[in-house]
Structure 1
Amino acid sequence: MSVNNVKQIWNSGGAVVNAWLSIPSGFAAEVIAQCGFDSVTVDLQHGVQDYRSMVECFQAMGAHPVTPMVRVPWNEPGIIGRVLDAGAYGLICPMVNTPREAGNLVSYAKYPPAGARSNGPIRAGMYHAAGTYQKKANDDVAVLPMIETKTAVENIEQILDVAGIDGVYIGPTDLGFSYGLGPKVDYTEPEILRIYEKVVKECNRRKLNPGIHCSGAEGAARAINMGFKLVTISDEAGLMSTYAKLQVKQTRKMINRKE
C-alpha cells in the first residue's frame, strides 16, 4: 500500500464506501477486502479487535485495492502512533469535542514540524523506499475526528478550522444520546438531520470531507445524496448477522409453505 485511495477518491469529487471490522479475524478481513469497498476500517474502540489482530487484518487485506484505516480507542499519542506505524492510512478518532482536542489529534498523527509523531514506522515503512514514508506520511494519512456530542456540534466550525484534519466522521448513536434520543444509526429526526446538513455545509466551505456511520445501503445512499464523502455500511458482524437471519427466516417460510 503506497497510495491512499480514499484521498484519491475525494480529490476526484467522489464518495468513499467504507467497511468496518469488529471481529479479530484476518480471514474476515480478507473476505471483506474483496467485496468492492474502497476502504476497510479496523475498530479498536468498540470492536473485539486488539493491536495484534489489527495487524493481521492489514496483512490479510494487503493484496487487495482497499485503504486500511483504524478507529482508535481514544485520542492519545501512544495508540495513534502505533496504528500508523503498523500501516494505517486513515485515522478515525472518537469523542473529539473541541478545537484543542482536534489539534492534539493532528499533532499525534503528523511528523514534525506539522506535529509530534515519533519516528518508527516498523510496518508502514516496509512498503516504501528507505526514508520516503516519513516524507509522504503527513500528506497521505487521512485524519478524521469524530463528531458525536452536543459539545462537538457547538464547536463544529472551530474544529473544522484546525489545520491538518481531512474532515470529520459522525458517530450517530452517541450523537443521538447526546441530544436525548435513543440509540440508532440512521436517524430521520429533523433535529439530527439539521446537524448533518450543517456539518456537510461547513465541510464544503472548507473543502473537507464529512463521513458518517450507516446501518446499510439505504442509509449510506441517503447520506451520500446529502453530501457525505465517506459512508460506512454497518460492520462485518452486522452484515453477517443480517444476512444469516434473512436466510433462516426465508428457509422457515418456505418449509411452512410446503406443509
Structure 2
Amino acid sequence: MRENTVKAKWRAGEVTLGGWLAIPSTFTAEIMAYRGFDWICLDMQHGLIDYADAVRMIQTINATDTVPIVRVPDNDFGFINRMLDAGAMGIIVPLVNSAEEARRVVDACRYYPAGSRSMGPTRISVSAGADYGARANDEIACIPMVETKEAVENLDEILSVEGVDAVYIGPADLSITLGLPPGLDNGGAFEEARQAVARACKAHGVVAGIHADATLAAKHAGAGFQMITVSIDFRGLIRAASDDIALAREQVRSVVSG
C-alpha cells in the first residue's frame, strides 16, 4: 500500500494544500494531479462525479504523487466502503454534527477492530498490494466536516472520537447556519467559529481543515490549519477562459479601432 504522505505531513506539523474536482474527467484529474497539490478531493456531494467516474479519476491521481481524497454525499457506510475500495486515501463526510455521527464515519473507514469496514478486495487488492488490509487503518484519513452551528457547539465531543484524523470546515453552510450569507471568509460569528475550530483541534491533536481559495491560504495556515483547499477545477476554468476572452477582445479592439 502506498504511504499517505498527507497524513505523514500532518504528523510533521506541515500545512497541506489541496485541489478540488467537480468535473467528471480523468483529463481534468490528471492536469490537477500534476500541478503540485498535496492532495486532490473528488466532490461527490455537490460535484457531477458518479462512481464509475470516481474510480477512473482515482486511478489517474494514484499514478502521481498526489493523494486522492473523496467527499462522499453523506454519512453512508456502504458508499464510504465503496470509495475506499476504489482507492481513495481519505474520506470527507459532510454535515457531521455529533460525536455519534463522527463515530459512524470512523466505523466505515476502519477495518475491525477499529471499525466495521467490510473487506472487499475486488479492486483494492490489485492496485494497493497485499499489505493493504494490514496498513489501511493507519493510512486512510478520516475527515468529518464541521459546517453547522450545532457541529461547532459539539466540537469537543466530535474531536474526542478516536480515529478522527481531521475536521474540515465548510464555510458556506456554516455561515448560513450562523445567520450569515454563504461565503469563504465571513467575519463576525463565522470568524469566531473558525478560530474556535483551530483552537479545539490544537487542544485535541486533530488536524484543522477548511475549504478556501489561494488568497486565504496564508491566513488559514497562520491560524493553525493544516488542510487547506486552494483551487477548484471549474473556477480555474472560468477564470482562465474569462481572462483569455477579455484580453483577446481588448487587443482586437485596439487593432480594429486603430
Aligned positions of 1:166-205 closer than 5 A: 166-185=165-184, 187-205=185-203
Partners in 1 of 2:75 and 2:16 — Cα distance? 24
User: Residue in 2 aligned with 1:97?
Assistant: 97
| Structure 1 portions without partners, runs of 5+ | none
* Counterpart code for 2:34: Q
Q: Deviations over 1:12-69 (max 9, x none)?
A: 2111111111111111101111111011111110000001000110122222100011
Counterpart selection for 2:245 from 241, 248, 251: 248
* Counterpart code for 1:196: R
* Counterpart code for 2:98: T
Aligned positions of 1:18-37 closer than 5 A: 18-37=18-37
Partners in 1 of 2:121 and 2:211 — Cα distance? 29
| Structure 2 portions without partners, runs of 5+ | none
The more displaced of 243-252 and 71-80 is 243-252
Shift of 1:167: 1.4
Contact 1:169 1:210 in 2 (8 A): yes
Partners in 2 of 1:141 and 1:62 — Cα distance? 14
Contact 1:86 1:121 in 2 (8 A): no
Q: Matched residue of 1:193: which SS?
A: helix
Partners in 2 of 1:167 and 1:145 — Cα distance? 7
Contact 1:86 1:122 in 2 (8 A): no
Q: Matched residue of 2:87: which SS?
A: coil
Partners in 2 of 1:92 and 1:173 — Cα distance? 16
User: Residue in 2 aligned with 1:138?
Assistant: 137
Q: Deviations over 1:132-171 (max 9, x none)?
A: 2111111110001000011101101110011000010000
Percent of residue pairs bearing the same amino acid type: 40
User: Residue in 1 aligned with 2:75?
Assistant: 75
Partners in 2 of 1:218 and 1:122 — Cα distance? 42
Contact 2:180 2:186 in 1 (8 A): no
Partners in 2 of 1:133 and 1:249 — Cα distance? 50
Partners in 2 of 1:239 and 1:129 — Cα distance? 35
User: Residue in 2 aligned with 1:207?
Assistant: 205
**CA pair 234-129 structure 1, distance change in 2 beyond 3 A:** closer
* Counterpart code for 1:84: L
Partners in 2 of 1:12 and 1:198 — Cα distance? 23
* Counterpart code for 1:165: V
Partners in 2 of 1:96 and 1:115 — Cα distance? 17
Aligned positions of 1:23-172 closer than 5 A: 23-130=23-130, 132-172=131-171
TM-score, with structure 1 as normaliser: 0.95
Partners in 1 of 2:148 and 2:172 — Cα distance? 10
* Counterpart code for 2:218: A
Contact 1:84 1:121 in 2 (8 A): no
Partners in 2 of 1:114 and 1:7 — Cα distance? 18
Shift of 1:128: 4.1
* Counterpart code for 1:31: I
- The count of aligned residue pairs is 256
Shift of 1:228: 0.7
Partners in 1 of 2:235 and 2:135 — Cα distance? 35
What root-mean-square deviation, in Å, do the aligned CA atoms of Structure 1 and Structure 2 show?
1.3
* Counterpart code for 1:173: A
